[in-house]
Structure 1
Amino acid sequence: MSEAIKLFVEDARAVSIEAAAKILNLKFKRSGVEHPQPCPHCGGTDTFAFNTGKEKWNCRAGGIGGNDAIGMVAHCEGLDVKSREGLLEACSIVLGRDIPDEGERESDEDRQARKKRLEERRLQNEADAAARAASQDEFREKERAKARGIIKTATGLRTSVDPRGRHYLEYRCNGFPDASWLRFGASVPYWHGQDERGAPLELFSGPAIVAPFIGPDLVEIGCHITWIDLRQPPKYRPLLYGLTKKGLACGLLDWAFSDAPPLAIDLADGLYEQLPAKKMRGSKKGGLIPIAGHPDCSRWVGGEGIENGVAFGVWEGFRADTFYFAAGDLGNLTGPAEPSSRFAHPMLKKPDAKGVLRALMVQGPKPKRDQGADDAMWVADHVDELVLLADGDSEPVMTAAAMARARARHARPGRLIPIVWPRAGYDFSRMAVETGE
């Protein structure tokens, strides 16, 4: 790689996630640093997100993410950064300029100036990365402390005098576990947006199921919050909306919890957006959500979400020899994929940067080589049977590849890892409710 190309790549590495997102015309929420949306490459509804505070991006559908603009652009544009062509094309998009001509002649003076600039850029990039890492560590510890505070103020779900948490799981899962892991808060604040001073705004405060994320030492590293509204079947979660940047520019007012839902045309035009009724605080990476039983058990059962784990446990009668868990999301269940294992979807297509329809690339079944221990949820070494629960209402090809990757990621000599699928088009929660079993 020539000095000109090296400098070209280093310049691209200095571009922020925020700047790259604007180049890609990605969607920004009106406030906050986390910006969820459909993945430009994989599709979905809120499968993709970038974080301008942490300088990270993640695609849950593809099971891939990173902490630089080059990788994010490459994923969104379907480029392979492992290849020279893909890397340089991604850098070109990030910088908005052509790839340098390596055959171009330059004077000795220009060459020395470029080498000096390259070294200065490299050192600055390293310094910036170190500063970001320190800031992220500080932010992570503050978020973990907040998560522990939320868990501490909630009461045990099965013993709470307020039955709404138990009713939610009965409606969604046909029962609830006789365990102390899950908790219930009668009035958990939902923060969204900022005031004129930059302070977070409380959209509303309502009942919620609070679940911890725990690490291998069983210490709480984060929490998962599911707000509930028993008047809103079939999910029994509140309908929440937020004003977008486009809506703000049009002079519309913020949506309040007491307001009627926004007009369908305003939602379709992107003036308002529906907000998730589930949030995570603290850290989830490498952790898992305990549902019932204890990690000392040799048989573990779980999948992506809490409701499916509870529903399957109810169906099994919450076996005494089993630990039931949830990973929180698909990426945390499976871990990242080896880039070389990507394959073309047999049916789905998407337009490329030039508008040409091409096969949608799917993250493959092979785990990424040399990944970290916390790149996926932990599984104790003594586990000899790990039952993985798939979602039958997700895109089947991508889900099958992800579940195969999870099995390969968590494989150990002598460990059985069956993958259990619900009825096509269903998840275990819906099956439990409709069958009453």
Structure 2
Amino acid sequence: MTVPAHNDAVDAWIERAKGHSTINVALRLGFRPKGNAKSIGAEATGPCPRCGGVDRFSVKIKEGLWNCRGCGKGGGDAIGLARWVPHERTFYEAVEFITGEAKPDAAPASEEEKAAIAAKRAKEAAEIDKARAAEAQQQNQFREDERRRCRQLWEHGRPIAGTLVEAYLRHRGVGRIPEGAKLRFHPEMHLRHPSGPGGKVVWTGPAMLSPIAGNDGRFMGLHTTWLDPRLGTPAMPAIDENGKPTKGKLVFVSEDGEVLDVKRSRGTKAGGHLVLAPALDTIFGGPRRLVIGEGIETVLAVWITMVEAGADMRLTAFWSAIDLGNLGGKALESVFHPTLKRPDARGRMLRVRLPGPVPDVSRPERSIAIPETVREVLVLADGDSDRTQVEYTLARATARWARPDLIVRGAWPEEGGDFSDMRMRKVREREAA
């Protein structure tokens, strides 16, 4: 057997290819994982970049392992993946693809060889583009189907007057509902675990609905809050185990002991908002002021408090951003938390990373936009979340919305709570007096 001569340049070239992460190479090959960077976690899953099978392909981020259950093919590095997608390559061809460099000791290619290589690469690029287009079409169709299902659920909802939604908001200290609030009641909404169409229905009961509106006002999806059916009855305790007023939301523990989130969003959430109180006077073509916060209860607590204080609300709109991540939008990069640490699987204390204060403005359609008519924005902070995380969220939102004719201010509740907690406590004190 002839042993090839050692070549330091070739070895270094191969090592450069090995230095590329499997997930990055998979993305270059057309892999589009479900979810976002925050939700992917240790493993990314999605359609296979070779066979296109939905939810068949996965990459373990740290280990670099990849696998397609449909094809029965897998491997442990980026080079092996590049050899397999979109069709079989040689080892050196895979290294060339990853590094973008020709093999260092390769003899100059003839014109015919150059043409063949160019044709091969063009064919590969066309196959990847075709697979991406098919996947995009499939995702768009799924989003449209999900939007249609969400709209049907919203249309089946009832006006909230006299329902558990009205009782729930009154329990939270909101004794009046804003005119034009996009809220409805549904008596039998399914709660699934895990969430999503494939999840098992673990509870069916009363819920508060609110449609998710896009920057253009278009219906994007549906936000659901499941309510405790005992609300308003003697079986509903007024005080929880921590001595605080009960929230009135459903508390549901799955069979495996997991406390389920009873606030869920379906359809498209990124860049969407919930309209809780539209501006009643549109002399300027839209709201002149905007109050925006994380949850429905927080925003309505501020609305009712301002109404009771005699504030003129005719030019002011009140929106819920649904959650902190959607309020601030995507960050340009993650940064280390200044103090927080958490143990890893080996028990080592590692610094926590969180979305930084600088916004990623590359996809504005996935971030909440402020109407052009608005001249002042009041952002409601959340006092029961990590202070640094909230500060970074507000910084991203402020930077994203910055324009010369707009003032953006933040309002902070008491430490350890939110504006809804403050409202509930003051209402209870007033009732007791």
- TM-score relative to the length of structure 1: 0.67
Instruction: Give the equivalent residue in structure 1 for 2:204.
Output: 205
Q: Say if 2:213 is the partner of 1:226.
A: no
SS of 2:134's equivalent in the other structure is: helix
1:302-342 deviation digits (Å, cap 9, x = unpaired): 11111110111111117222111101122221111222xx4
**Secondary structure of residue in 2 paired with 1:361:** strand
Q: How does 1:23-102 map to 2 (within 5 A)?
A: 52=46, 73=61
Match of 2:214 in 1: 215
Among 126, 129, 152, the alignment partner of 2:129 is 126
1:431 counterpart residue number: 422
| Alignment partners' CA distance in 2, 1:343 and 1:429 | 30
In 2: Cα distance, 1:155 partner to 1:180 partner: 14
Partner SS, residue 359 of structure 2: coil
SS at structure 2 position matched to 1:205: strand
Counterpart for residue 151 of structure 2:
148
* Aligned twin of 1:246: none
The 5-angstrom pairing of residues 350-365 of structure 1 reads 350=342, 357-365=349-357
Q: Structure 2 CA distance, aligned partners of 1:367 and 1:129?
A: 27
The answer for the alignment partner of 1:337 in structure 2 is 331
Q: Corresponding residue for 1:256?
A: none
- Contact 1:407/1:417 (CA < 8 Å) preserved in 2? yes
Determine the C-alpha separation between the residues in 1 that align with 2:381 and 2:219.
Answer: 26
Where does residue 250 of structure 2 map in the other structure? Answer: 238
- Cα distance change on mapping 1:124 and 1:180 into 2, 3 Å: same
CA RMSD of aligned residues (A): 4.5
CA displacement 1:206-246 (0-9 Å, x = unmatched)? 2111111122443322111111012376222223344xxxx
Task: Give secondary structure in 2 for the equivalent of 1:320.
Answer: coil
Counterpart in the other structure of 2:381: 390
Shift of 1:394: 0.4
Give 1:284 deviation, angstroms.
2.1
Q: Write the distance in 2 (CA, Å) between the matches of 1:188 and 1:54.
A: 37
Q: For 1:413 and 1:73, locate their aligned partners in 2 and report how far apart those are by CA, in whole Å.
A: 42
Over 3 Å counting, the alpha-carbon distance change for 1:358 and 1:193 in structure 2 is closer
Which string of whole-angstrom CA distances, capped at 9 and with x for unpartnered residues, describes residues 36-64 of structure 1? 998969xxxxxxx9774799xxxxxxxxx
SS of 2:408's partner is coil
SS at match of 2:317: strand
Q: CA offset at residue 298 of structure 1?
A: 0.4
Of the three residues 276, 291, 301, the one matched with 1:301 is 291
Identity of aligned residues (%): 26
Task: Classify the secondary structure of the residue corresponding to 2:172.
Answer: helix
User: Deviation per CA, 1:109-154, whole angstroms, max 9, x where unpaired?
Assistant: 9999998886665444333222221111101111111111111111
SS in 2 for 1:418: strand
CA distance in 1, matches of 2:80, 2:426: 52
Q: State the alpha-carbon separation in 1 of the partners of residues 159 and 139 from structure 2.
A: 32
Distance 2:79 2:304 in 1: 53
CA pair 7-131 structure 1, distance change in 2 beyond 3 A = farther
Q: 1:171 deviation in Å?
A: 1.6
Render the CA deviation track for 1:357-410: whole Å, top value 9, x for unaligned. 4432332222124x2222211210110011001101001111111111111111
Question: Is 2:402 the partner of 1:399?
Answer: no
CA separation of 1:321 and 1:39: change in aligned 2, threshold 3 A: same
Change in CA separation of 1:392 and 1:191 when aligned onto 2, cut-off 3 Å: closer
Partner residue of 2:74?
none
**Alignment check: 8 A CA contact 1:156 1:180 kept:** no
Deviation of residue 278 (structure 1)?
1.4
Q: CA–CA distance in 1 between the matches of 2:347 and 2:193?
A: 35
Q: Which has more radius of gyration?
A: 2
For residue 156 of structure 1, give the secondary structure of its aligned residue in structure 2: coil
Distance change >3 Å, CA 226–CA 409, structure 1 → 2? same
CA distance in 1, matches of 2:345, 2:135: 31
**TM-superposed deviation, 1:185:** 2.4
How big is the shift at 1:93?
13
Displacement of 1:276 in angstroms is: 1.6
CA displacement at 1:354 relative to structure 2: 8.4
Aligned 8 A contact 2:156 2:186 in 1? no
1:252 aligns to what? none
Q: Is the 8 A contact 1:12 1:91 kept in 2?
A: no
Aligned to 1:311: 301
Q: Following superposition of structure 1 onto structure 2, how do residues 414-429 of structure 1 map, counting pairs within 5 Å?
A: 414-429=405-420
TM-score by length of 2: 0.67
Q: Matched residues in 2 for 1:281 and 1:398: separation? A: 25
Matched residue SS, 1:210: strand
CA contact (8 A) 1:343 1:362 kept: yes
Relative contact order: is structure 1 or structure 2 higher (C-alpha 8 Å, sep ≥ 6)?
Answer: 1
Q: Which runs of 5+ in 1 are unaligned?
A: 19-32, 42-48, 56-67, 78-89, 243-261, 268-272
Q: Distance in 2 between matches of 1:430 and 1:94?
A: 52
Confirm or deny that 1:379 pairs with 2:370: yes
CA positional deviation for 1:104: 7.7
For 1:364, the aligned partner's letter is G
* SS of equivalent residue, structure 1 residue 405: helix
**Bigger CA drift: 344-353 or 103-112?**
103-112
Q: Does the 8 Å CA contact 2:178/2:276 hold for their aligned counterparts?
A: no
- Counterpart CA distance in 1 for 2:58 and 2:373 is 40
Say which SS state the counterpart of residue 388 (structure 1) adopts.
strand
Task: Return 5+ residue gaps in structure 2 as ranges.
Answer: 1-11, 50-56, 65-76, 83-94, 241-245
